[in-house]
Amino acid sequence: MSKPYRIVIAGAGVTGLTVAALLARSRYSDKLQLTIVDAMARPRHRSDDDTALRVSALATGSAELLRSIGAWDHVKNTRACAYECMRVWDEAGSADGATTLRFDAAEFAMPQLGFIVENVLVQHAILNVLDDANVELVFDTPMISLQKNGQRYRIELAGGETLDTDLVIGADGVRSFVRESVAIAAAEFPYGQNAFVTHLRPENPHRHTAWQRFLQDGPLGMLPLSDGRISVVWSTRETTADRAMHASDEQLGHMLSGASDYVLGNLTVAGPRGTFPLCARHAEHYVLPGVALIGDAAHAVHPLAGQGANLGLQDAAVLADVIVNAIGNGETPGDRPVLRRYERARRGENAAMLHLMTGLNRLFATDSALVRELRAIGMRLFNVSGPIRDHAVKVALGGSLSRN
Ligand SMILES: Cc1cc2nc3c(=O)[nH]c(=O)nc-3n(C[C@H](O)[C@H](O)[C@H](O)COP(=O)(O)OP(=O)(O)OC[C@H]3O[C@@H](n4cnc5c(N)ncnc54)[C@H](O)[C@@H]3O)c2cc1C
């Protein structure tokens, strides 16, 4: 029997897969014909693979969401590193100085602040869930055209197949084909930075801490991995990132040990390398009749606070909720008033995070002595400002917070 609503999801990144799993496990799954289309091959992860280059800090709230769709146990049992503390400091100070921002899970009665996980492992775990659900998975097949066809959209796939759909969810990343095809403009805020990424073995234990040092050219983040290594995300000038890409292992170890102020002693290169151009982007609208954008397709934020995937997962949760409630109320999921509920719930929150990250990146990149002094005062005050600090941590954790 044909199902009343067809939804096509463009993109099998963590956000696209999560919204699919939430809908497939919802109480109205029997009313939804779900298809995911991705341009790339199906992502696969084997437990004896080395830790993949791309990892994300997922907040505890995001882990809970993955648990709710049945994907978290596989991730956690395979390889996830809990981080219990965060230390954020400025180039002018030191990691144990008075201006260092400190967050400890114990202070908030939580076992951890979040988990460092491989992106491909999360995708693999959600796909395992989807294999047992009623979702059509189409890989290695880019969407090549998207056009309005009466009340519905007609999608053409490379290879010639066409899909008619009541709702297309654009979860197809920063350069979203869906967003461009339906002519939703996106504001761009270039950072003039690239993110250089690699894994390193530190001389001293990482202590399950996420470290971030703000340098004038951009922040250096160091995330703990479960085998004792750290994953580095160094947002820096394009020329420096390029130099890091081409340096010998020994030179790179020196560069990053110095950039980290030797907080974990000497760092030894112990993994592949990659660079990613950084640019904040925000879609002017998240929805049109029959179209909704989620994740990086809607907003791309600076990786300095590790929030991109977390925000995308929250989009997925809210959009799935809105769609399920609409069906319960006898409404049509692709109608604009329905989709606007999702946009209203998420766009402001994402904009706040995007501008906060852009502002922080600029604030720390200044070489003005006055700004540096004010920044140090601000960081000291932040450390003792109960409610502001609690609010910041709550947002970063993507969930509720209670103080010990
Ligand atoms: C260096 C770096 C570090 C980061 N660290 C963190 C972190 O610690 N924590 C965090 O929360 N976030 C982090 N992020 C951000 C995070 O990686 C992204 O926000 C997240 O991966 C976006 O997921 P997505 O599913 O929206 O998009 P993507 O992961 O980009 O997935 C989009 C999918 O769409 C597919 N696609 C594209 N075009 C088409 C088409 N025409 N047809 C079909 N399929 C198509 C692609 O193949 C892809 O699989 C980081 C980002 C960077 C660059």
Report the nearest-CA residue for atom 17 of ligand 1: 309
**371 C-alpha vs ligand 1 centroid, how far in Å?**
34
pLDDT at residue 231 greater than cutoff 90: yes
pLDDT at residue 396 greater than cutoff 80: no
Q: Give the integer Cα–Cα distance in Å for 294 and 51.
A: 27
Average pLDDT of the chain to the nearest whole number: 90
At 403, the pLDDT band (50, 70, 90 cuts) reads very low
Pocket-testing residue among 18, 19, 37, 38, ligand 1, by greatest number of atoms within 8 A of Cβ: 38
| pLDDT on residue 317 | 98
pLDDT digits (tens, 9 = 90+) for 161-210: 999 999 999 999 999 999 999 999 999 988 888 999 999 999 999 999 99
Q: Going by CATH, does the domain composed of 5-362 fall within 3.50.50.60?
A: yes
**308 C-alpha vs ligand 1 centroid, how far in Å?**
8
Q: What percent of the chain has pLDDT over 90?
A: 72
Q: In this structure, are strands 167-170 and 5-10 parallel, antiparallel, or unpaired?
A: parallel
pLDDT digits (tens, 9 = 90+) for 243-253: 999 999 999 99
| pLDDT on residue 314 | 96
Q: Give the integer Cα–Cα distance in Å for 384 and 373.
A: 17
| pLDDT on residue 101 | 83
Q: Give the integer Cα–Cα distance in Å for 176 and 161.
A: 20
Residues linked to residue 94 through DSSP beta bridges, in sequence order = none
Could you give the strand order of the β-sheet that contains 81-83, starting from the edge strand earlier in sequence? 55-59, 114-118, 81-83
Nearest to 292 by CA among 249, 321, 260, 254: 321
Nearest to 105 by CA among 123, 127, 129, 87: 87
Kindly state the average pLDDT of the residues 153-162. 96
The answer to whether the CB of 60 falls within 8 A of the CB of 82 is no
Kindly state the average pLDDT of the residues 260-272. 97
pTM over 0.85: yes
Greater pLDDT, 84 or 380 = 84
Q: What percent of the chain has pLDDT over 70?
A: 88
Residue 171 CA, closest ligand 1 atom number = 26
Report the nearest-CA residue for atom 38 of ligand 1: 172
Greater pLDDT, 360 or 271 = 271
**296 C-alpha vs ligand 1 centroid, how far in Å?**
6
Greater pLDDT, 91 or 145 = 145
Backbone angles phi, psi at 400, to 5 degrees: -80, 165
At 397, the pLDDT band (50, 70, 90 cuts) reads low
| pLDDT on residue 382 | 58
DSSP per-residue string spanning 373-386: HHHHHHHHHHHH-H
**327 C-alpha vs ligand 1 centroid, how far in Å?**
29
Q: Give the containing element (helix H, strand E) for 363.
A: helix 336-365
Kindly state the average pLDDT of the residues 350-373. 68
**94 C-alpha vs ligand 1 centroid, how far in Å?**
33
DSSP state of 30: G
Residue 142 CA, closest ligand 1 atom number = 42
Kindly state the average pLDDT of the residues 327-336. 96
| pLDDT on residue 361 | 64
Pocket of ligand 1 (CB under 6 A): 10-16, 37-40, 56-57, 119, 142-143, 171-173, 177, 195, 197, 233, 276, 295-296, 303, 306-310, 312
The answer to whether the CB of 63 falls within 8 A of the CB of 397 is no
Report the nearest-CA residue for atom 19 of ligand 1: 308
Residue 307 CA, closest ligand 1 atom number = 11
pLDDT at residue 363 greater than cutoff 70: no
